[in-house]
């Protein structure tokens, strides 16, 4: 604050060569109204990434790791299966770097996601919702094999967790270097976030407990059942515990290979399921009461953080990961009941003055 009370900014002290250089260093924000009184609760707002989700991180590293390895050639088409956020991140990266991108996505995901990808220059191939995430992965693999395209393989590639180990985890360490950090709460889609931060926190902040969340009606990890895989590590079939859920971006219908490292390495200390309705409720409350706009997955992660706080000791510090922005959910249950036209109260306000 300046002396007169007006907020001031000083600039970042640098100029960026490309939009990709702005990925990461997302802010940690204190929750002031919704946090239980006996804990201090923060969120890490991944919507501050340039394409507005945590998946920007893995998108840029998948492409740049392939460039370094020589497995992605100049001008080669990239193809990937995605529920949306990875595809949007890849579309941004490929647009900047000049790679054509084809995305496979089943037709049950929000229409704004496919429109965003197309806006960024990608081609979106829709697969039947009935075939699930496994179906869109198989379609991407089929297209890559048929056309010689580069398959991004977000669910299996080492580049996924590697970028969270190198960036997300390091940011958390730096932001909490001068204070305690008792819990980190996150959901999973590919598992890259929990695996990457787990590698680091287990070594450098072993006192910090990592809490993982998944949909209450699709508890793949909670079921105790393993995942059937093919020779590449990709899913060979849907997981038997999967049921359709509204938390887009969370928990596909299989346990990703990237997540399997966190399971095998015991990188998390507890599983806290969250329901879709709770995700919607807490996303709306974060927006209306804290001014923090996140999607259903962010709301569900926050629900798990609130549940974690209930049994947390007095004075605990909790960090909750918020994966993306609420604008990615305009056609989903998150916005059901949010009217386009004026309410009666709004009409009364409008009529209270002549114009």
In this prediction, residue 1 carries a pLDDT of: 53
Pairing relation of β-strands 150-151 and 78-81? parallel
Same domain, 294 and 277: yes
5 in any annotated domain: no
Q: For residues 194 and 189, give the distance between their C-alpha atoms in angstroms, rounded to a whole number.
A: 10
Q: Last residue of some domain: 91, 123, 151? A: 151
Same domain, 131 and 184: no
In this prediction, residue 87 carries a pLDDT of: 95
Instruction: Report whether 250 contacts 186 (CB < 8 A).
Output: no
Q: Of how many residues is the chain composed?
A: 355
Look at residue 298 and tell me whether its pLDDT is greater than 60. yes
344 in any annotated domain: no
Catalytic residues: 55, 297
Instruction: Report whether 50 contacts 324 (CB < 8 A).
Output: no
Grade residue 83 by pLDDT with cuts at 50, 70 and 90.
Answer: confident
Same domain, 109 and 257: no
CB-CB neighbours of 332 under 10 Å: 21
Same domain, 195 and 328: yes
Q: What is the DSSP string of 88-149?
A: HHHHHHHHHHT--EEEEEETTS-HHHHHHHHHTT-EEEEE-GGGHHHHHHHHHHHHHHHHTP
Residue 150, token pair as written in the block: 């580069």
Q: For residues 93 and 87, give the distance between their C-alpha atoms in angstroms, rounded to a whole number.
A: 10
Q: Last residue of some domain: 120, 151, 182? A: 151
Share of the chain above pLDDT 90, in %: 95
CATH number, domain containing residue 145:
3.40.50.1100
Grade residue 2 by pLDDT with cuts at 50, 70 and 90.
Answer: low
Domains identified in the chain, total number: 2
Grade residue 109 by pLDDT with cuts at 50, 70 and 90.
Answer: confident
**Domain carrying residue 129:** 55-151
Pairing relation of β-strands 183-186 and 209-212? parallel
Look at residue 265 and tell me whether its pLDDT is greater than 90. yes
131 in any annotated domain: yes
């Amino acid at each position: 604050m300046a002396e007169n009370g007006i907020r001031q900014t000083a600039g970042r002290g640098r100029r960026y060569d490309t939009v990709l250089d702005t990925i990461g260093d997302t802010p940690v924000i204190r929750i002031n109204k919704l946090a239980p009184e006996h804990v201090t609760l923060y969120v890490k707002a991944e919507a501050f990434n340039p394409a507005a989700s945590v998946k920007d991180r893995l998108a840029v590293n998948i492409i740049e790791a392939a460039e370094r390895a020589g497995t992605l050639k100049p001008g080669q088409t990239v193809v990937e299966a995605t529920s949306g956020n990875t595809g949007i991140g890849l579309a941004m990266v490929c647009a900047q770097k000049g790679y054509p991108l084809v995305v496979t996505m089943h037709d049950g995901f929000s229409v704004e996601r496919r429109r965003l990808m197309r806006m960024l220059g990608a081609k979106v191939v829709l697969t039947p919702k009935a075939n699930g995430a496994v179906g869109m992965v198989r379609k991407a693999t089929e297209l890559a094999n048929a056309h010689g395209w580069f398959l991004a393989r977000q669910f299996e590639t080492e580049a996924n967790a590697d970028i969270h180990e190198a960036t997300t985890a390091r940011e958390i360490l730096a932001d909490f270097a001068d204070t305690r950090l008792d819990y980190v709460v996150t959901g999973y889609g590919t598992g890259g976030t929990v695996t990457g931060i787990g590698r680091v926190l287990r070594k450098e902040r072993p006192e910090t407990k990592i809490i993982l969340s998944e949909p209450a009606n699709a508890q793949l990890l909670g079921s105790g059942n393993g995942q059937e895989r093919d020779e590449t590590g990709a899913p060979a079939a849907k997981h038997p515990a999967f049921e359709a859920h509204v938390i887009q971006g969370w928990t596909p219908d299989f346990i990703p290979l990237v997540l399997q490292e966190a399971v095998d390495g015991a990188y998390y200390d507890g599983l806290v399921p969250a329901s879709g309705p709770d995700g919607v409720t807490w996303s709306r409350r974060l927006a209306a009461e804290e001014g923090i706009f996140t999607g259903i997955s962010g709301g569900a992660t926050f629900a798990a953080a609130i549940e974690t706080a209930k049994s947390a000791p007095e004075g605990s510090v909790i960090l909750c990961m918020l994966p993306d922005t609420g604008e990615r959910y305009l056609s989903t249950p998150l916005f059901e009941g949010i009217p386009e036209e004026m309410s009666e109260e709004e009409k009364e306000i409008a009529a209270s003055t002549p114009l």
